[in-house]
Amino acid sequence: LAKAVYGLPEIHRDAIKGATLVANPGCYPEAALLALAPAVREGLVADDVIVDAKSGISGAGRGGLATSVMDHFAEANENVVAYGLDGHGHGLEIAQELAELRKADGAKVTFVPHRIPMTRGILATCYAPLRDEGVTKRAVWEMYREHYDGEPFVRVTDTPPQTKQTIGSNFCLVYPTVDERAGRLIVVSCLDNLVKGAAGQAVQNMNVMFGLREEEGLEQLALYP
């Protein structure tokens, strides 16, 4: 376990290149970390982060012990519920990676996942106080755009992204903005939990490990609508 590299190429690409063991991230941490990494790395925000995430039902897995009565169509449809309020492993995973990005411990990270009535897709809405309340939406957006310039699978969008724009693709869409009255950064990100949040991410990691073109096998566009 000590040798495993955290398999998020947008943060750890160089380490993945030389790795013999790569740990594929959870779907929620993927969405949250791609939303927050630029701001945290640049010290734009204080160490006090809330991730409010919304996931389709396939996030819970298909069968066996993971399947509960809550996955039954009649329960899950026309319904939304928060869960993991007493702690969810993905919250720790987010906190650990954010600490590494800041080179510091002790961030307050609150992570609350929600089940919403759709099959695929995760949308994370992330909130953190700005260190400098004078920073503008435009400046934040440009910083994000620059940060992800050249990334094959991250797009910084002009308008709030929709999960449906990513379904079937390996893209993560990221939209940063500022609540000027509250002095707060808000970043919305989304991805397909079964592609960029799972198998697609694994293929991307494999491509990086083996020196293949990073997009190999991952160029499928989203299926819309």
C-beta closer to a second copy: residue 73 or 210: 73
172: annotated active-site residue: no
Angle at 98 between CA 96 and CA 101, to 5 degrees: 115
C-beta closer to a second copy: residue 19 or 116: 116
Q: Report the alpha-carbon distance of residue 164 to residue 153 in Å, rounded.
A: 16
C-beta closer to a second copy: residue 33 or 209: 33
Which residue in 114, 109, 138 sits closest to 126, CA to CA? 109
C-beta closer to a second copy: residue 21 or 221: 221
Shortest distance, CB of residue 126 to a second copy, whole angstroms? 10
Q: Which residues in this chain contact a second copy in the complex, by CB under 8 A?
A: 48, 50, 52, 54, 56-58, 62-63, 67, 69, 71-83, 85-86, 108-110, 112, 114, 116-121, 123, 125, 127, 160-164, 167-168, 177, 179, 181-184, 186, 188, 190, 220, 223, 225
Tell me whether residue 187 is exposed, middle or buried, using C-beta atoms within 10 angstroms of its C-beta: 0 to 12, 13 to 18, 19 or more: buried
Strand partners, 155: 173
- Angle separating helix axes 27-41 and 89-102, nearest 10 degrees: 20
Shortest distance, CB of residue 80 to a second copy, whole angstroms? 5
Shortest distance, CB of residue 182 to a second copy, whole angstroms? 4
Shortest distance, CB of residue 20 to a second copy, whole angstroms? 31
Among all residues, which ones are annotated catalytic?
27
